[in-house]
Amino acid sequence: MADVSVRKAALCLGAMLAAACVAAQGARATTFHVLHAFAGGPGDGRDPWRGALYRDASGNVFGTTIFGGANDLGTVFKIAPDGSETVLYSFTGGDDGVEPTGVVGDAKGNLYGVVTAPSFGAVFEITSGGEYKVLHRFRGRRDGMDPDADPILDGAGNLYGTTMHGGDAGSDCSNGQNGCGTVFKIAADGKYSIVHAFAGGNDGSLPIGLTLDGSGNLIGATMDGGGKRGHGTIYRLAPDGTETILHTFKHFHEGLAPEEPPTLDASGNLYGTTSAYGEMHPHRCPYHDGCGTLFKLAPDGGFVVLHAFTGGSDGARPSSPLILDGAGNLIGATGGGGKHCLPVMGCGTVFRLAPDGTMTILHDGSERRGNPGALIAGAGGVLYGAEYPINGGGDGSIFKLKP
């Protein structure tokens, strides 16, 4: 795949600050391999959503599908390094729930995740022995409701996550009495507690996933809120529950509505993406609300847009948390755009943004395979991800990508 022309690079540089705007480049010597293609039916899942994948010390990849399995209501799966798949659990639609997001695992071989339905959702565990347990069933309102992001674990075995709604019933947000969302904790002993209930004012509403720093602080984002002109926030919660707003998205050029948790480097810089706005040139980004951005937030509050997606070969609408590799490159995925698809209903990309701002496209999605997302890093720079089918093109897959 050839690099884009110097003319296109010049157009891009003319559209933004030179430090932030880069030319999307083609992949060089990238190896793409479908590790497992889902087939649906009782013995396999179908439609892996963009929830987190988890890779254990033996190289097995774990995740979820929202359909397929014994009841066509979703699965939790394991894929061995040789590509062989085991369905660990098939959801029944009863007390166990349906519509799982992703999973995270601990050193003992236990897996944890959330289901978004029925009712208000639940947090589950699949033990190393294969037993399925509901750790907490959300009751709505102050307890939280509608978990829609993957939980995370700390070193002590405590589980943290978010709910999109619920919390303080008197919150000032568009959901009225449904509340603006919560951050919750399930301690290693099983005790459930609310770490923070969003009020919908300056601290935002509709929280998404979380990141844990070395001091035990939880760092996350909200998709909405942050004051009268706010369309999302980045926040930090101290171990005692004290909240600090690190950034509020109020300006279109910054991007609005982050949908993925931020990524933290060793110097305390945060990197993340927004799902909307950014570059608004109608000939390069036909979305009426923009294609999203990739940003950096420094510890002193300095904010810079590193890349504004155009909807062309660089993609649009980031669809996975960013991965920071040992060379300082940022790797991620988009759910739209891409070289071989229509810009509005695009197939997506896997991209790498170098510290000097150079963007390289490592993989283009396709109508046959679908949208890439749910990226995780493996050994030796290898990436693993899921492709969600579009336009009836198969049942999705798990892939392995070597840049």
For CA atoms 279, 281, 284, 289, the dihedral sign is: positive
Residue 326 lies in a domain: yes
> Domain total for the chain?
1
Whether the pTM exceeds 0.75: the reply is yes
Q: What is the pLDDT of residue 283?
A: 59
Cα four-point dihedral sign 386, 387, 389, 394: negative
Give the burial string for 16-51 (b: 16+ CB within 10 Å, else e). Answer: beeebbbbbbebeebebeebbbbebeeebbbbbbbb
Which DSSP string do the residues of 103-134 spell out, in sequence order? EEE-TTS-EEEEEEESTT-EEEEE-TTS-EEE
Residue 54, H or E segment: strand 54-55
The answer as to whether 338 is a domain residue is yes
Answer whether residue 166 is part of any domain: yes
- How would you write the pLDDT of the chain (403 residues) with one tens digit per residue? 333 332 233 333 333 333 333 444 443 568 999 999 999 889 999 999 767 899 999 999 999 999 999 999 999 999 999 999 999 999 999 999 998 999 999 999 999 999 988 889 999 999 999 999 999 999 988 899 999 999 999 999 999 999 999 997 566 776 556 889 999 999 999 999 999 999 888 889 999 999 999 999 999 999 998 887 788 999 999 999 999 999 999 988 999 999 999 999 999 999 999 998 887 666 566 666 888 999 999 999 999 999 999 888 899 899 899 999 999 999 999 988 887 676 555 688 999 999 999 999 999 887 666 789 899 999 999 999 999 887 666 789 999 999 8
pLDDT in tens, 316-367: 899 899 999 999 999 999 988 887 676 555 688 999 999 999 999 999 887 6
Residue 160: partners with Cβ closer than 8 Å, 6 or more residues away: 151, 152, 153, 154, 183, 184, 185, 186, 195, 210, 212, 218
SS3 10: helix
Upstream peptide bond of 118 is cis (omega within 30 degrees of 0)? yes
Can you give the pLDDT at residue 22?
A: 40
Give residue 29's pLDDT.
Answer: 62
What are the CA-CA distances from residue 20 to residues 47, 126, 256 (Å)?
A: 35, 43, 17
Q: Are 63 and 48 in contact (CB under 8 A)?
A: yes
Q: Is residue 289 part of a domain?
A: yes
Q: Which amino acid is residue 64, in one-letter code?
A: T
In angstroms, the CA 72 to CA 79 distance is 19
Q: Are strands 132-137 and 152-153 parallel, antiparallel or unpaired?
A: unpaired
The number of beta carbons lying within 10 Å of the beta carbon of residue 184 is: 24
CA distance 363 to 317: 15
Token readout for 29 is 């010597």
Here the CATH number for the domain that contains residue 143 is: 2.120.10.30
Of 265, 263, 289, the closest CA to residue 278 belongs to 289
Which class for 327: exposed (0-12), middle (13-18), buried (19 or more C-beta within 10 A)? exposed
CB 36 within 8 A of CB 83: yes
Which is it for strands 67-68 and 75-79: parallel, antiparallel or unpaired? unpaired
Q: What is the domain extent for residue 238? A: 6-402
Structure-block tokens of residue 155: 């070193």
Instruction: Flag whether 19 is in a domain.
Output: yes
CA-based R_g, the chain, Å: 20
As separate numbers, helices (DSSP H) first and strands (DSSP E) second, the chain gives: 1, 32
| Domain contains 1 | no
Round to whole Å and give the CA distance between 279 and 268.
Answer: 27
298 within domain boundaries: yes
Angle at CA of residue 244, ends 239 and 246, nearest 5°: 125
Tell me 381's DSSP state: G
In a domain, 273, yes or no: yes
- Pick the closest to residue 149 from 181, 186, 179, 196 (CA basis): 181
- What are 12-16's contacts with CB under 8 Å, separation 24+? 12/310, 15/279, 15/281, 15/284, 15/308, 16/279, 16/305, 16/308
User: How far apart (Å, rounded) are the C-alpha atoms in residues 314 and 116?
Assistant: 31
Q: Which amino acid is at 345?
A: M
